[in-house]
Amino acid sequence: MKRAPSRTALCVAATLLAQAEAACLSSGNQDTINNLLQQGGPNTVVSLCPGATIPLTGSIVFTASGQEISTAGYPTDDTRATVIIQPGSNTTSAIRGNWQDNVRVLNIQVDGNRPNAGPFGGDALLELGGGTTGQTVSHSVIKNTRSWSCLHLIGSGQDENPCRNATITFNTVGPCGEEGVDAQGLGLWADGLSIECTATTVTGATDGGIVIFGSPGSSFLRNTITSSTTQRGFGAINMVDPNYNGNYSGVVVSENIITGVGDSFIELGIGMGGQVWSNPHPLNNFGPTTVTNNVFKGNIGFSIVINGWENGLTVTGNDVSQVHSPSSDFADDSSCGPQQKASFAANKQLIIYEPGAGTPLNIQSDFDSIPNNGSNWLCLSHPVPTQQSFAPQSLSVNGKTSLVVQLRGFRVQLQGDGNLVGLDTTGAEWVVKWASSRYSTACGTDGSLCELDFGGDGNLVLYDANGPVWDAGTSGTGEDLVFYNAAPWVAVTGAGGNTLWTIADLTG
């Protein structure tokens, strides 16, 4: 016989439901939340209503241990409440919880709003860590940081009271940062997760790259790291920095899946050691450290590179069978050193420079032990095309700007004396392959008065301050201007791709 629930139980359930509904916050800003945290003291839970969007012009700050911000009912879908930084504010950190034990960010969406608020230098989107234990960030979306990282667990700087025992699980991290530099030349890249916390677990994150700053005793398990389809990813999991004096002992990196997709790629899957990143440091990092059963797929330049490591390593069961080959289909090694170029050309994915690596050294047999001490494995770029086309009126370069096109191993530039030259850039010294050899004394002191134009009429013309110096004679017929890194070097084509003119017609 089915038993009816007791009256008391029903009552309690209804009361709890009513409380949960009444207690959740559906509007406000950081001040609303900060007031609740300050007044509530330790263990205060700020529960946001499902679907709520809380605009931020300042940080939400945990003020006591055990505080929590979460969405009521702990959903894991789009109904998770959003805290989002507003354009016009200089805030980069949505939530700060440094030096507070056991604080929790659960089941919410944290949006730095970089596309609208713009990149801005400052602290990470989530700033946690310090001399604490038991912090948790779980089932949350963390994306669009304006600064250098989406989530930062900072160290404490105190040997006796390190950041410890944090739990970072099942978060969707990213997009975080972009490739390239801003107008001031500052990098636009950002980390997904930046972890400088001991005995910590980072599990089940999707998307963001992970930088491990020492963090002895921490585990990085079953995370899924996928490149953007367009933006180059630098390193998926990095163990290259010298925090904790390079102490990576007891760090376990296992069963992560690292994938480079679309027209883009991940330069380096897992980097280990002081000599791997673009800023090598003299100290070796040290283990013993375990890197096992990670899977690499798609467009990845180098899957695991180890150089500058000591005191033991176990690197086994890592699978690179699904990495795209050859690497030159998706990446260019022009900026790499000789050892990196050799490994790239041979499509090597698992690379170790053994001297100094120490014992126990248990490395799977398909590793390539390289003969030279190659530093900086962050040297790949998007492939540069071998040719580039311009429609009428889409090319105008003067002798001051100089660069006309950069092709694979080749560069065309207009000099300040009006000479247009094609240079082979593959060797240590650039070699002139062709030149217009028509000079002008009327380019102006900085060359800016000499200008190469592919005009709206389809003619390619070099002008100086007095008018045309030379032209292709393709006015009314030219449809495309094409530069190549091999003969015929420069051509104007007409209807149906017919060649109307090449640079040889000028120089021949």
Ligand X SMILES: *[C@@H]1O[C@H](CO)[C@@H](O)[C@H](O)[C@H]1NC(C)=O
Would you tell me which residues interact with ligand X (CB under 6 A)? 90, 102, 133-134, 136, 165, 167, 198, 216-217, 247, 249, 275, 280, 282, 355-356, 373, 375
The CB-of-155 to ligand X minimum distance in angstroms stands at: 12
Q: Is 223 or 247 the residue whose CB approaches ligand X more closely?
A: 247
DSSP letters spanning 359-374? SSEEE-TT-EE-SS--
Only one residue has tokens 């209807």, namely 495
Q: For the CB of residue 195, give the shortest distance to ligand X in the complex, in Å.
A: 14
Q: φ and ψ at 215, to 5 degrees?
A: 55, 50
Give least dist CB 86 to ligand X, A: 11
Does residue 371 have a cis peptide bond before it, meaning omega lies within 30 degrees of 0? no
- Please tell me the distance from the alpha carbon of residue 278 to that of residue 242, in angstroms, as a whole number: 14
User: 167 or 224, CB closer to ligand X?
Assistant: 167
Q: Report d(CA 122, CA 106) in Å as an integer.
A: 24
Q: What's the min distance (Å) between Cβ of 194 and ligand X?
A: 19
Instruction: Provide the H-helix boundaries in 316-404.
Output: 338-345
Closest residue to ligand X, judged by C-beta, is 134
Specify the residue, 375 or 459, whose C-beta has the smaller distance to ligand X. Answer: 375
| Nearer residue to ligand X within complex by CB, 103 or 462 | 103
Per-residue CA distances from 121 to 88, 151, 200, 271 (Å) = 14, 15, 27, 26
Q: Kindly tell me which of 256 and 339 has the beta carbon lying closer to ligand X.
A: 339
* H or E element that contains 16: helix 7-23
Shortest separation between residue 366's beta carbon and ligand X, angstroms: 22
Of 314 and 406, nearer to ligand X (C-beta) is 314
Burial of 476 (0-12, 13-18, 19+ CB in 10 A): exposed
Report residue 122 CA to chain centroid gap.
17
Identify residue 354 by its one-letter amino acid code: E
| Residue closer to ligand X (CB basis): 122 or 488 | 122
Residue 363 and residue 272: Cα distance in Å, rounded?
Answer: 13
Q: What angle do CA 242, 212, 202 make, to 5 degrees?
A: 155
Phi, psi of 28 (to 5 degrees): 120, -165
Residue 373 vs 425, nearer CB to ligand X = 373
Tell me how far, at minimum, the Cβ of 353 lies from ligand X, in Å: 7
Cα–Cα distance, 154 to 129 (Å, whole number): 5
The least distance separating ligand X from the CB of residue 66, rounded to whole angstroms, comes to 10
CB of 183 to ligand X, least distance (A): 13
Cα gap 353→304, rounded to integer Å: 11
Q: How far is the CB of 305 from ligand X (least distance, A)?
A: 13
Closer to ligand X at the Cβ: 247 or 259? 247
Minimum CB–partner distance for residue 360 and ligand X (Å): 16
- Outline where DSSP puts E strands in 15-160: 45-48, 53-56, 60-61, 68-71, 82-85, 95-96, 104-106, 109-111, 126-129, 136-138, 141-143, 149-154
Closer CB to ligand X, residue 152 or residue 164?
Answer: 164
The Cβ of residue 425 has, within 10 Å, a number of other Cβ atoms equal to 16
